Amino acid sequence: MELLKQRIREVGTVLSNEIIKLDAILNHAVDPALTTAMGKEFARLFREENITKVVTIESSGIAIAFAVAQELGVPMVFARRKKSLNADSSETYCERVPSFTKGLVTDIMVSREFLDPQDRILLIDDFIANGDAARGLIRIIRRSGAHLVGVGIAVEKSFQAGGRTIRESGVRVESLARIASMEPGKIQFE
Amino acid sequence: MELLKQRIREVGTVLSNEIIKLDAILNHAVDPALTTAMGKEFARLFREENITKVVTIESSGIAIAFAVAQELGVPMVFARRKKSLNADSSETYCERVPSFTKGLVTDIMVSREFLDPQDRILLIDDFIANGDAARGLIRIIRRSGAHLVGVGIAVEKSFQAGGRTIRESGVRVESLARIASMEPGKIQFE
């Protein structure tokens, strides 16, 4: 998606060969026109899949997932991150995931009432690096019996294994911008 | 806003005289049609105020604030909650706020680059109870030199002091649904 790549070039701050700061458009401030356009693009890519629900993880995925859900006319669910130790309960699915950027472990949680075996789910997230959060959420979706239609990612760091390993597991992954490599002052897209 | 009150009656679970669970529409799952309608209503209420930025706090405020920002055609910024001790830095404003529902203290943070003295800001949040989070964010907005135009709240628990104390401080507060009292099975709106 050319508009997203252009904005990444404009506002992205490369902090290291592995970390890019996109606070101005994804992780702290949000440009509604850009995010709405991303929502329309994901909706276009997955329109024929009869999606019943868009699922993401708080917080930076929410605005994008909401824009997709608006366009598809289906509900959106955001998994909650929990700081404390959590296990499955009669009401929730929990999975423990490490966080690449934060360097710590969090538990993600979805209430059972919001995932149905009849659901056809599109998973949306802002970033994919090692893919731990996405894989945790995929495990939750599968355990609910719902069908995972695919994964939509705004920015994939394709030099890290997340997107590739999820594709290799047979899941369709669509990324709107794929960063092949980066260093301060220089971002190379695929 | 009649539609919101109706949905609260349908899906709200009153856990005590003070706590209502609205996971199905605000805090875990989101209905894009309802949230878009809330966005349009806040935009209508504040349209003449020449708002330049919509500000909220992660996570449950994000979808509503995004819908308002979409309608007004301005950027949205979400304050981040931090678990660790944080103080102001050259790059950020931080405020410590207690959380009514979570029973703990969190720090909220906004990067200085996203608040400008020229900004006219609409603060949006999903809930107001005691108003600690909103007051923390108001302190951050004021310290940045930006002008706070008003506060838009989806659900105000008007039997708690948050909305009232912020109004008494001279800030315009608009709530789309005001709960006067509640007990399991019964919700009374103002």
Q: Contact A23/B80 with Cβ under 8 angstroms?
A: no
The reply to whether residue B62 touches residue A67, judged by beta carbons under 8 angstroms, is no
Query: How crowded is residue A116: how many other Cβ atoms within 10 Å of its Cβ?
Result: 13
Look up the CATH architecture of domain A33-178.
3-Layer(aba) Sandwich (3.40)
The number of C-beta contacts closer than 8 angstroms across A and B is 88
Q: Contact A167/A157 with Cβ under 8 angstroms?
A: no
Q: How far, in Å, CA of A13 to CA of A103, rounded?
A: 19
- Residue B29, marked binder: no
| Percentages of chain A per state (helix, strand, coil), in multiples of 5 | 35, 35, 30
Strands A20-21 and A186-189, by their bridges, are unpaired
How is A113-172 classified by DSSP, letter by letter? GG--TT-EEEEEEEEESS-HHHHHHHHHHHHTT-EEEEEEEEEEETTSSHHHHHHHTT--
Q: Which of B181, B187, B153, B140 shows the shortest CA–CA distance to B60?
A: B153
pLDDT by residue (tens digit) across A150-174? 999 999 999 999 999 999 999 999 9
Residue B94 has pLDDT above 60, yes or no: yes
Residues from chain A contacting residue B34 (CB–CB below 8 Å): none
Residue B131 has pLDDT above 70, yes or no: yes
Across B55-78, average pLDDT: 98
Q: How far, in Å, CA of B95 to CA of B117, rounded?
A: 18
The encoded tokens of residue A3 equal 């508009």
Hunting for tokens 């594709």 — which residue is that? Answer: A167
The reply to whether residue A36 touches residue B70, judged by beta carbons under 8 angstroms, is yes
What percent of chain A clears pLDDT 90, i.e. is strictly above it?
89
CATH of domain B2-189: 3.40.50.2020
pLDDT by residue (tens digit) across A69-85? 999 999 999 999 986 55
- Residue B50, marked binder: no
Sign, CA dihedral A49-A53-A56-A61, equals positive
Hunting for tokens 């709405």 — which residue is that? Answer: A36
Residues from chain B contacting residue A76 (CB–CB below 8 Å): 29-30, 32, 63
As for the ipTM of the complex, it is 0.96
- Residue B133, marked binder: yes
